[in-house]
Amino acid sequence: MDVSYMLHEMCHNVLSAADIKAIGKSRGFSAKEIATPALLANFFLSPIGVQTALQSLSREEVAFLYFLKEHGQEIGIAPFSRIYGDASTGKKWYHGTFTQRYQHTLRQVKKALVRKGVLLMAEQVNGGDTKMERWRFRFPPEFEAFLPPLLFDAIALEAPGDYQEDVVRTKLLKITAGRSAKPTLDPIQYAWKFKDGALFMGLEPYSVQRLEAWQNACWQASIPGKKRVWSPQETASDKARVYTSIQATVYALAQLGPSEWASPQQLTPVFKVFCNRDALGEDVCEAGWRWGRLARQEVDGRMLYRLAPALSAPASELDPASYLRSPTGHFLEIDLETIPYQALAELNQLTHLEVIEQRLLAKPNFITAGRAPASVRNGPLAQWLRSNASGFKQMFEQLDKRWGKQIIHENLMLARVKDLSLKVRIEKSLGTKGVVSLSDEFIAFPVGLAPKVRRIVGQADFAVKEVSAS
């Protein structure tokens, strides 16, 4: 349901006269502005009184509105039990109906959020067997700009704090050295490997985002705790995302201003809402600092945290000559002690990488560079390669000449089919995504479809003649 539909339904079919009066009082509407449901619908999404109404909410309620903001659509009644509880709260077994379970929750939602004029409420058609299952709620996007800070009482400090940058650098050094130094907790799905000249972390190519995902995985694995299991009485339509404590912490700290810091205790309502459970903020933040994801500093005897500088942040205009050495000009030796993480990601998109005698080397590769995004291919690092490494200069000059004139493919086969009926048969069998019809008598298709092409040709009583590339 979109916002306009929910607003119309709420004002005309859900709210009682007492509800409308309460909304008017909370938002500061005049008697004329709430005289009829249609007038209330006209004024409800205006900024009138929104900031005042939101400021009156509890910290948990504010956190829940941030949660709804990230959810981005309507939600059922069940997730509201994270802040208001329900009839099953504190009971090992609960045998009541869905309606009985959430009656108290619904009353609290209407009193604390709907009647404050900050939440939309409407009944979804075919949303469940009972009315309680069909109720849907949504935080209007128009109100998002007025939300109070998610982390209350944040402290402004100019000092940068400290963070464990060596943790990530040690991971990088394992590419060539195979070092077993700390960190020892290293999930197998993020292990280094090379495939076709590209550096991979598990099944995905190396990138700054993948490196941060590795940090988060190690961070999460270092925090004990059981995953929350949904009760069978919570239907699929009532479920809302349950964040890990790591995801919730990163999201919350990302809301801080450039010089703001927060204490672990400020994360308590965030964990309750986003994770649907309590978590010890001190343990979560300390583990985040150990794995290089958080920065910290101590003020008046208490530890404060914020996100560590992003790995993709510019390396203070670091000269590539400080981390790239070119003994012959035809390949580059990469210094893993100093190379910025983003620079390695760009080299992974521009060059052929391989390890020789515990050295990571980058070599020119026409096909790899041709596939790189324009922002990387024309970026500062690529320009430096053009100017300072003769092999790469030749590669880029060749690429420039052929750009827009020649398409380079790998794992592609070319076939000449003189018989028109056979060519049509192959094209129909492989479909538009499996074969490309070229000029004259030629077609192109992926190497993986070669057995199918041979079978089609054989069934049509034609012979296959293969010619290897010279």
Is residue 468 in some structural domain? Answer: no
With 70 as the cut, is the pLDDT of residue 157 above it?
yes
The answer, yes or no, to whether the previous bond of 183 is cis (omega within 30 of 0) is: yes
Q: Which residues of 219-251 are buried (b: 16+ CB within 10 A; e: fewer)?
A: bbebbeeeeeeeeebbeeebebebbbbbebbbb
Residue 433: per-residue pLDDT? 62
* 457 vs 251: which has the higher pLDDT: 251
Q: What is the pLDDT of residue 369?
A: 87
Is residue 382 a contact partner of residue 374, using CB atoms and an 8 Å limit?
A: no
Q: Is residue 279 part of a domain?
A: yes
The answer, yes or no, to whether residue 411 has pLDDT greater than 90, is no
Of all residues in the chain, the percent with pLDDT exceeding 90 is 58
194 plus 160 within the same structural domain: no
pLDDT category of residue 227 using cuts at 50, 70 and 90? very low
227 in the same domain as 266: yes
Do 296 and 154 share a domain, yes or no?
yes
Give one word for 36, left, alpha or beta, with left for phi > 0 and alpha for psi -120 to 50.
beta
pLDDT at 233 over 60: no
DSSP 262: B
The closest of 153, 162, 164, 157 to 258, measured between CA atoms, is: 157
Whether 228 and 329 map to the same domain: the answer is: no
Residue 363 within any structural domain of the chain: yes
> What is the span of the domain harbouring residue 261?
149-165+207-310
Instruction: Please give the backbone phi and psi of residue 162, each rounded to the nearest 5 degrees, phi first.
Output: -130, 150
Distance between CA 84 and CA 68 in Å, rounded?
15
Number of domains in the chain: 5
Q: How far is it, in rounded angstroms, from Cα 210 to Cα 254?
A: 19
Is residue 326 domain-shared with residue 297, that is, in the same domain? no
Same domain, 301 and 160: yes
**Average pLDDT, integer, range 157-175:** 91
Over residues 22-47, the mean pLDDT reads 96
Given pLDDT bands bounded at 50, 70 and 90, which one contains residue 232?
very low
Q: What is the largest CA-CA distance in the chain?
A: 87
Q: What is the per-residue DSSP string for 155-178? A: EE--S--B--HHHHHHHHHHHHH-
- Together in a domain, 160 and 305: yes
Residue 128: burial class (beta carbons within 10 Å; 0-12, 13-18, 19+):
middle
24/180: higher pLDDT: 24
> For 81-122, how does the pLDDT look when each residue is reduced to its tens digit (9 = 90+)?
999 999 988 787 788 899 999 999 999 999 999 999 999 999
Domain ends where: 364, 381, 402?
Answer: 402
Q: Kindly report, residue by residue over 274-291, the tens digit of the pLDDT.
A: 998 877 889 999 999 999
Do 15 and 128 lie in one domain? The reply is yes
Are residue 213 and residue 180 in the same domain, yes or no?
Answer: no
pLDDT attached to residue 234: 43
pLDDT above 50 for 36: yes
Give dist(CA 238, CA 348) in Å, integer.
43
* Chain length of the chain: 470
Report yes or no on 470 lying in a domain.
Answer: no
Question: Is residue 159 located within the same domain as residue 175?
Answer: no
Domain-embedded: residue 336: yes
In a domain, 270, yes or no: yes
Question: Exposed, middle or buried, 444 (CB in 10 Å: 0-12/13-18/19+)?
Answer: middle
Both 201 and 240 in a single domain? Answer: no
Lowest mean pLDDT across 238-242, 255-259, 285-289, 411-415? 238-242
**Residues pairing with 262 in the sheet:** 305
| CA dist 275 → 194, 225, 279, 376 (Å) | 37, 12, 9, 38
Give residue for tokens 């672990």: 264
- Whether residues 119 and 141 share a domain: the answer is yes
In the chain, helix, strand, coil percent, each to 5? Answer: 45, 15, 40
What pLDDT is stored for residue 329 in this prediction?
67
pLDDT over 70 percentage in the chain: 90
Mean pLDDT of 150-175: 92
Lowest mean pLDDT, pick from 45-49, 81-85, 376-380, 415-419 = 415-419
Is residue 302 within 8 A of residue 157, CB to CB? The reply is: no
The string of pLDDT tens digits covering residues 346-383 is 999 999 999 998 899 999 988 888 888 888 888 999 99
Residue 382 lies in a domain: yes
pLDDT in the model for residue 399: 85
Whole-number mean pLDDT of the chain? Answer: 87
Q: CA dist 405 to 116, 287, 410, Å? A: 63, 53, 17
More confident residue, 417 or 330: 417
Q: Which residue bears the tokens 């900031």?
A: 51
Q: What is the pLDDT of residue 468?
A: 64
CB 215 within 8 A of CB 312: no
List the single range of 181-185, 259-263, 344-348, 389-393 with lowest mean pLDDT: 181-185
The CA distance from 401 to 406, in Å, is: 9
The structure tokens listed for 269 are: 């309502």
Confidence grade of residue 137 (pLDDT, cut at 50, 70, 90): very high
Comparing 34-43, 149-158, 267-276, 395-404, the range with the smallest average pLDDT is 395-404
For residue 467, being part of any structural domain is answered with no
User: Is the model's pLDDT at 179 over the cut of 50?
Assistant: no
